[in-house]
Chains A and B, each alone.
Chain A
Amino acid sequence: AQKVTQAQTEISVVEKEDVTLDCVYETRDTTYYLFWYKQPPSGELVFLIRRNSFDEQNEISGRYSWNFQKSTSSFNFTITASQVVDSAVYFCALSEARGFGNEKLTFGTGTRLTIIP
């Protein structure tokens, strides 16, 4: 069975500080996919990034960066120079490769990030 753990329930930082959101996953599969989604106060779920298990390259997109380490089963998310608009609940999720609708997203419990102006 797959499992995603986000140990940080809530984080508050002052604007312009850097912040890292932790994600640890468990799976028995060798092929799987990791995701981060953002849920702002308005409630929608916004896709941020997908990573497959064969690609451990770190990724940077503007102020966002992701660090994927298979050795520690972690997929951490860093926001650099945080802004108030980054305030949201962030979910890490895992999907095992099954095909034809058999793959499901298993979500972590989310980390509520508050950026203090």
Chain B
Amino acid sequence: DTAVSQTPKYLVTQMGNDKSIKCEQNLGHDTMYWYKQDSKKFLKIMFSYNNKELIINETVPNRFSPKSPDKAHLNLHINSLELGDSAVYFCASRTSLQETQYFGPGTRLLVL
């Protein structure tokens, strides 16, 4: 009965590879987000989706491509991974009716 889940939890890969992170929420929320937490713990928004439509794209390199197949899922595909992409990626969701965003457990990505 996890509210916001992400897979995988850990991801170790080589530079230049392509990888995807999946997020699912069972809260019935209509808005989902991706945030990046860097090595200094700084959290910054990357994308938001509302009812499967991209709303916020916060100057993220176009190697990052989010996809929302339905309101309960928001995936993040990253092409040509670089060392600087190493971070923890958090998915979050909320309903339009109230402001609180609930976060998934995070995906720890390490690019070697």
Chain A residues proximal to chain B, CB less than 8 Å: 33, 35, 37, 39, 43-47, 50, 52, 89, 91, 95, 97, 99-107, 109-110
Residues of B contacting A99 in the complex (Cβ-Cβ under 8 angstroms): 96
From A47, A91, A101, A110, contact of B31 by CB (8 A) = A101
- The answer to whether A102 and B55 touch across the interface, beta carbons within 8 angstroms, is yes
Residues of A close to B96: CB separation below 8 A: 99-101
Spell out B's residues near A (CB within 8 Å): 31, 33, 35, 40-45, 48-50, 53, 55-56, 58, 88, 90, 92, 96, 99-106, 108
A35 to chain B, nearest CB (A): 7
Considering the chains assembled together, what is the distance between the CA atoms of A91 and B104 in angstroms? 16
CA distance A110 to B90 in the complex (A): 16
Provided the pairs A35-B100, A107-B44, A109-B41 are in contact, do residues A101 and B56 lie with their beta carbons within 8 angstroms? yes
Give chain A residues whose Cβ lies under 8 Å from the Cβ of B41: 39, 89, 109-110
Alpha-carbon separation in the docked complex, A105 to B50 (Å): 15
Which of B40, B49, B101, B105 interacts with A105 by CB under 8 Å? B101
CA distance A81 to B90 in the complex (A): 31
- Contacts A45-B90, A50-B100 given; indicate if A107 touches B43 (C-beta within 8 A): yes
Q: How far is the CA of A116 from the CA of B53 in the complex (A)?
A: 47
CB of A29, distance to nearest CB on chain B (Å): 13
Pick the contact of B48: A33, A101, A107 (CB < 8 A). Answer: A101
Are B105 and A43 in contact, with the CB atoms below 8 A? yes
Contacts A45-B90, A107-B44 given; indicate if A100 touches B55 (C-beta within 8 A). yes
Q: Which residues of B contact A97 (CB under 8 A)?
A: 99
Listed A/B pairs (21) with beta-carbon separation below 8 Å:
A35-B100, A37-B103, A43-B105, A44-B103, A44-B104, A44-B106, A45-B103, A45-B106, A47-B100, A47-B101, A47-B103, A50-B100, A52-B99, A99-B96, A101-B49, A101-B53, A101-B55, A104-B45, A105-B43, A107-B43, A107-B44
